[in-house]
Structure 1
Amino acid sequence: MTNETTAKLPIAPLLTLAAATFMSITIEMLPTGLMHLMAPDLQVTESQIGLLMSVFAFAVVVTSTPLMMLLRHVPKRILLVSVLTLFAVSTILTAVAPTYTLVLLSRILNGIAHGVFWASVTSYTGTLVRPEQLTKAVSITGGGGGLAFVLGVPLGTALGQLLDWRATFVVLAVICLAVAVLLWFVLPKGVGDGPAPATAAVELPSPQAIGDVQAMTNSIPVQRRPQKSMGLVVALCVLVLVMMTGHYSFYSYISPYLLGPVGVSELWLPIVLFAYGVAAAIATALTGTLFTGRMSTGFYVAFALFLLGGGSLALLAGFPILAGLGIILWGFGMGFLPTLLQSRLLAVAPSKHRDLASAIYTSSFNFGIGAGALVGAVVLDQFGMGALGVTFLALTVVGILINLAVDLRSVRKSRSGTV
């Protein structure tokens, strides 16, 4: 049965969609690796380059839902190809923009296209496969985003050092255009033009969350399942917002931090970023194996890795080996966390409100990316590079306290028999 299902998967369209998600996340995160090259060329501070991440993420949050409502009758094949083409064109505009203001505007256009693409790709994937194939299909298409953290950002950083940051954006834009053309020829005509099948948008993993979150949730014993309520969904999304804000307040500026306080050479920078990405990918792949039926334990393991990894970077920057170990531990923590968050969302969201819960979750995740880069910019300008790690640790502690409060509430509800 498994072999038959696998054989009938539309591999070529799924892999092409995975390539598209790879390009979109790589280009989104590229300023983190090229910040030290972009800032002097544009004659701005590194914190202003970090704000390019903020405007990108805020553009996704503000425009994706209304645009999807406006464009809901456009055939998905045409929509996906169009927005990916717009994404590539706006990336070229970033590369040729002579001023920071124009770069900023091009990144807003980037974010608008990115939001529509990610909002469309899940429902479209659901039209390509049978319901029992959905998890496997989504793991393929969403896997491109996770791979971007492993290979895309480090390779983009290395390319920027070999050429320059503008040439890197052009190269990636050209590849993105090639993927858009490939989508036009590979995606089947007419598929997805009607109403989308009943697949909850929550089944799309967030970037880096490439795991069978449904299987993890289904493995929780019935008597231990969290109470389903939108209140718990909101609490979880607050946790997502705080953790992503903390993470991106530091990670958005990781390149200048590694080159500055840690003392990593430019030659080693892509290698260190690659090590972080590999650690995150390994952790993501192991999340289901390690924490199926032990979701709560997984959260505290991830939090501990955040504190140990971030603490090593923040407090031991003068010891490059320990700081390097710290970024690897941080990568493991970030690899575990999104899949765990996604699994908990499936567990606590009422079935009739899953799409709404997913929309809130996705907005929280993206808002956290933008808020994190913004918070990091303010901290960097006001207190210097060394304060970034302290901010990250403080927000991580806040996230742990929120998670403890949610866990305690769930325990009380369980004991009172209301689960």
Structure 2
Amino acid sequence: MNISPDTKRPLPMLALIALATASFMSITIEMMPSGLMHLMAPELQVQHSDIGNLVSVFALTVVLTSTPLVLLLSRIPKRTLLVVVLTIFSIGTVFTALAPNYALVAVSRVVTGVAHGVFWATVTAYTATIVRPEQVMKAVSITGGGGSLAFVLGVPISTSLGQWLGWRAAFIAVAAGCLVVVLILLAVLPKGRPGEPTVTTGAIDTEAVANALQGPQHSLRMVTLVCILTAIVMCGQYSFYSYNAPYLLQEVAITEAQLPVVQFGYGIASALAATATGMLFTSRPKSGWYFTAVLMLAGGAVLTLFPGMQPVALTGFVLWGAGMGFMPVLLQARLLAAASARQRDLAAALYNTGFNIGIASGSYLGGLLLTSFGMRAPGTAFMALLVLAIALSIAIDWRQRKAAPTAV
């Protein structure tokens, strides 16, 4: 039996690493206000919750613009689109660094949010076009791992740069790094395989992932439910994580010098988990999702309930980081299983919208609770929303089993 050359084609590691690096820069820039909150708030003469709302503004911009822009720009080759939006991302970050007041900082975050939305609605679909169907989850694990790595290096390093040089210099340094990544993308991203379109993902089948998830069918309804699940998980995540710096400094009582180190520990756990997701959960992504949700819930609960016991609280913070490393890849696996090949681009845009609705609402909710009820309130919201997400996932799985055709 002859084996086609395509079945022997290995993972395009250079391209995947480049996309992972771009994901790293994107998440780093999105989350920088969380690590630099204690430096930005005094200079801009606003409260911590106002800096947290910069994350909400960023994410809300993604929600409002990503889907229409992706549809509008659908005829542009994805390789070109990724390069352009990352360049805009860098320019918007420079504007943040140079903005003289809070209002203009917020405007700059809108600019970067527009680019961020198009980037994340494009990168997953593009990744699926450059690998074989059975390689999709592993490839997404690699590119998504770049986002997790932002928690390892991006946020702690930007926090350290802010403490050393000032928060504005930290934004400029990251913007420069973003331009370097643009050049890397131009050099290594494939322009498309011969005879294959570069603007859609219709040639990619999700059968392998769907079989692993035991889903009965591809449907827009199931895509919508996965996106709602994603929004709830991310709302819980960012209601607490957006305010991790003041919480760790005030409630857990670490020093300002220790803050980047503790964030580094969270990120290391997150990156290791993201890297291991493909190996651990490719054949059982559903059970992996429940394990991950419980791990995040347990870590956040320990951090919230025992802040005075510093070693215990910090252990909870690291466990939470590990759970968050697994979670995005497993959510994307559920999305790919729910969406038909024809729906892939729309599903990616809807997922990106749900993800960022969660970020925007979570950051806003956390800031509101922080101002009204104190430092521990965001952690309580985190736990409640994770419990809600687990309940919704059980309902989704029950619906899938009910809809599945009976074997004869």
Shorter-chain TM-score bucket reads 0.7 to 0.9
State the AA in 1 paired with 2:44.
Answer: L
- Say whether the 8 Å CA contact 2:96–2:104 is kept in structure 1: yes
1:126/1:197 contact within 8 Å kept:
no
Q: Which moved more, 1:40-49 or 1:82-91?
A: 82-91
| From 47, 58, 68, the counterpart of 2:49 | 47
- What is the aligned partner in structure 1 of residue 121 from structure 2? 119
Pairing 1:188-337 to 2, within 5 Å after superposition: 195-196=197-198, 198-199=200-201, 217-219=210-212, 224-337=214-327
| Kept in 2: contact 1:127–1:191 (CA 8 A) | no
Give, in angstroms, the shift of residue 78 of structure 1. 4.7
Partner of 2:198, secondary structure, is: coil
Identity %: 52
Matched residue, 2:82: 80
Cα 1:300–1:47 shift into 2, 3 Å: same
1:5 corresponds to: 9
Residues 201, 104 of structure 1: alpha-carbon distance in 2 compared, 3 angstrom cutoff: farther
> How far apart in 2 are the matches of 1:127 and 1:307?
35
2:128–2:201 Cα contact (<8 Å) kept: yes
Q: CA deviation at 1:266?
A: 1.2
Deviates more, 1:382-391 or 1:97-106: 382-391
Mapped partners of 2:276, 2:188: distance in 1: 32
Residue type at the aligned position of 1:61: V
How far 1:381 sits from its partner (Å)?
A: 1.5
2:154 to 138, 146, 152: 152
CA shift, 1:418, in A, is 8.6
Query: How far is 1:411 from its partner?
Result: 3.6
Deviations 1:129-179 (A, max 9, x none): 677876666555444323212211111112111221111001111222233
Measure how far apart 1:48 and its partner are.
0.5
Question: What stretches of structure 2 of length at least 5 have no aligned partner?
Answer: none
Cα 1:296–1:137 change in 2 (3 A) is closer
Matched residue type, 2:258: W
CA distance in 2 between partners of 1:137 and 1:263 (Å): 40
Report the Cα distance in structure 2 between the residues aligned to 1:348 and 1:127, rounded to whole angstroms: 18
Distance 1:129 1:164, change over 3 A: same
Q: Is the Cα contact below 8 Å between 2:202 and 2:342 reproduced in 1?
A: no
Question: Which of 68, 71, 80 in structure 2 is aligned with 1:69?
Answer: 71
How far did 1:394 drift?
1.1
Change (3 A) 1:4 1:231: closer
**How much has 1:255 moved relative to structure 2?**
0.8
Using structure 2 for the length normalisation, give the TM-score: 0.87
For 2:62, what is the secondary structure of its paired residue? helix
For the residues of structure 1 that align with 2:108 and 2:335, how far apart are their CA atoms? 33
What's the CA shift for 1:187? 5.3
CA deviation after TM superposition for structure 1 residue 256, in Å: 0.8
Kept in 2: contact 1:10–1:129 (CA 8 A) = no
- Note the aligned Cα RMSD (angstroms): 3.2
1:24 aligns with: 26
Distance in 1 (CA, whole Å) between partners of 2:384 and 2:135 is 41
CA 1:55–1:2: 2 relative to 1, 3 Å: same
Residue 83 of structure 1 aligns to a residue whose secondary structure is helix
Equivalent-residue separation in structure 1 for 2:76 and 2:396 (angstroms): 41
- The verdict on how the C-alpha distance between 1:317 and 1:126 changes in structure 2, with shifts beyond 3 A counting, is closer
Q: Could you report, residue by residue, the CA deviation over 1:232-270 in whole angstroms, capped at 9, with x for unpaired residues?
A: 322222211111101100001111110111111111111
Counterpart CA distance in 2 for 1:171 and 1:18 is 19
TM-aligned CA distance change 1:2 to 1:353, over 3 Å: closer
**Corresponding residue for residue 180 of structure 1:** 182
Mapped to 1, the partners of 2:336 and 2:148 lie a distance apart of 20
Q: How many residues align?
A: 404
Indicate conservation of the 8 Å contact 1:202/1:358, yes or no.
no
Displacement after TM superposition at 1:373 (Å): 0.5
Pick one of 15, 35, 38 that aligns with 1:36: 38
